[in-house]
Amino acid sequence: MTVATLIAFNLTLLASMASPGPALLLALKTTLTSGRMAGIVTGLGLGTMAAIWTGLALLGLEGVFNLFPWAYTALKTGGALYLIYIAYGMWKDATKPLIPTSAEAPKLRRAFFTGFAVNMGNPKSVIFASAVLLVIFPQGMSLTEKAGIALNHLLVEWIVYTLFALALSTAPARAGYLRLKPVLDRTAALILGALGLRLIFSK
């Protein structure tokens, strides 16, 4: 493993994180509705599970899924149903006014778990990670090198989601969200629901 390969991996990772998906939508929604710290902690949960998928890909989990297809199907279905559940809640509450009091703010432990569970619910991440890792990194890496790649992934995700939450927690960003809340929430709900259904019906 060289510095060049690690940079290539990080650039690919950043491009993947920037594309609209359940993780980015969850980070956006949580930050704007529940505040900066909840957004940051949600991002920590998202990043932790994403890094775990990369670590598992490095250890050959894709081969396990190939040997035991039922495990992949069970994990994929559970994750899809969870995405649909989140989408339903977002759609239902889209027109409700936002009253940001400390009593209504979600506990940070719940915010972390929600982020963790959303990324855990997409086992296709490990397939994607396997493909990227296979293209970028050489074969025969040591366990230490693999651990370093997973740790690098973790730090990149944590830093990006923290910066994202800090940027979105400003007064202009929050005011803009409140003006467009019904449209943005229902758009996000449709995307999350579609992703959940796609996970259920895709092979």
132 to 8, 50, 58, 203: CA distances (angstroms): 10, 14, 11, 20
- The answer to whether residues 57 and 123 touch, using CB atoms and an 8 Å cutoff, is no
Tell me the torsion sign for CA atoms 39, 55, 138, 71. negative
| 44: confidence class by pLDDT, cuts 50, 70, 90 | very high
Cα(108)–Cα(203) distance, rounded to whole angstroms? 35
- pLDDT higher than 90, residue 41: yes
At 132 the pLDDT is: 67
Q: pLDDT tens digit string along 145-166?
A: 888 989 999 999 999 999 989 9
- The answer to whether residues 153 and 52 touch, using CB atoms and an 8 Å cutoff, is no
- Helix ranges (H only) for 93-142 are 108-120, 124-136
Cα(182)–Cα(171) distance, rounded to whole angstroms? 19
At 62 the pLDDT is: 62
Alpha carbon of residue 77 to chain centroid? 17
Cα(24)–Cα(160) distance, rounded to whole angstroms? 11
- pLDDT higher than 50, residue 172: yes
Q: pLDDT tens digit string along 99-114?
A: 554 444 457 888 899 8
At 103 the pLDDT is: 44
Mean pLDDT of 61-68: 68
Highest mean pLDDT among 37-41, 62-66, 80-84, 171-175: 37-41
- Element (DSSP H or E) covering residue 13: helix 3-18
- Please give the model's pTM, rounded to 2 decimal places: 0.71
Domain boundaries, the chain: 3-12+28-201
At 154 the pLDDT is: 94
Q: Is 140 left (phi over 0), alpha (psi -120 to 50) or beta?
A: left
- pLDDT higher than 70, residue 127: no
At 104 the pLDDT is: 43
Mean pLDDT of 43-53: 92
